[in-house]
Chains A and B, each alone.
Chain A
């Protein structure tokens, strides 16, 4: 697995609860995380860093366009979808 980012950030990144907190923050989820931050203030910068990664705010990696298309074609082929390309 990745050796480029802090282990503590990586661990937060793979937490389902964290992903839902960033991508689908309901009032209940936000309250739970607020309580977590009150009890664990040292975790705030770690969670913020993981949040930036999840929202693609820094150190952004993407596939080249032709590879994106190639992967799409592979998926369509596996799904049995015919294309015009």
Chain B
């Protein structure tokens, strides 16, 4: 690796040129490394800024990403898409650093809004659970008579008062209570 800028090549801002820059960089052209940095710094910074507003942390992480690229330059052939590689490396670095800072500080993990693939998985599982519960409730309600179902939906889901349900269903107070009571008993039987 030549430790200077003596090799000067004219590069244009394009993916094709990125490929050529990577080849030149691997062959020892430091100017190519500089150009790779300058071609992608704005894209990286803009992306990172959407994940953290801590500019110093972001700059530190970008720095680490490029140092890693420099140190692993002999393995550059393994990178399928340089832009994807940069963005994913930066995102991983930001997540790692955020986790480290949580570990070193008194702030509880629950108090921090850290975006990571763990959150996505957690949200996905939670959403699936809600979906599953909704399906179960819907299936159970299908076991009721139409009037029982209406009364229970009005009372438990729409949170209406007995008096309101009496008006909506044109029934007296005791009949509504009996209807809901019988519906609940039926749901309990079905759920066992």
Closest residue of B by beta carbon distance from A5: B50
- Which residue of A1, A63, A68, A78 is within 8 Å of B52 (Cβ)? A1
Residues of B within 8 A of A10 (CB): 50-51, 115
How large, as a class, is the contact surface on chain A? 35 or more
- Which residue of A1, A23, A79 is within 8 Å of B87 (Cβ)? A23
**Are A15 and B117 interface neighbours, CB within 8 A?**
yes
**Are A84 and B63 interface neighbours, CB within 8 A?**
no
Interface presence of B38 (CB below 8 A)? yes
10 new A-B pairs (CB below 8 Å) besides A20-B81, A75-B66?
A4-B50, A11-B119, A13-B115, A23-B81, A56-B42, A68-B38, A71-B41, A75-B63, A79-B70, A81-B70
**Would you list the 6 A-B pairs with minimal beta carbon distance, nearest first?**
A24-B81, A61-B49, A23-B84, A79-B70, A23-B83, A82-B3
Interface residues of B (CB under 8 A from A): 1, 3-5, 30, 33-34, 37-38, 41-43, 45-47, 49-53, 59, 62-63, 66-67, 70-71, 80-81, 83-84, 87-88, 91, 95, 98, 112-117, 119-120, 123
Interface residues of A (CB under 8 A from B): 1-5, 7, 10-11, 13-16, 19-20, 23-24, 53-54, 56, 60-63, 67-68, 71-72, 74-76, 78-84
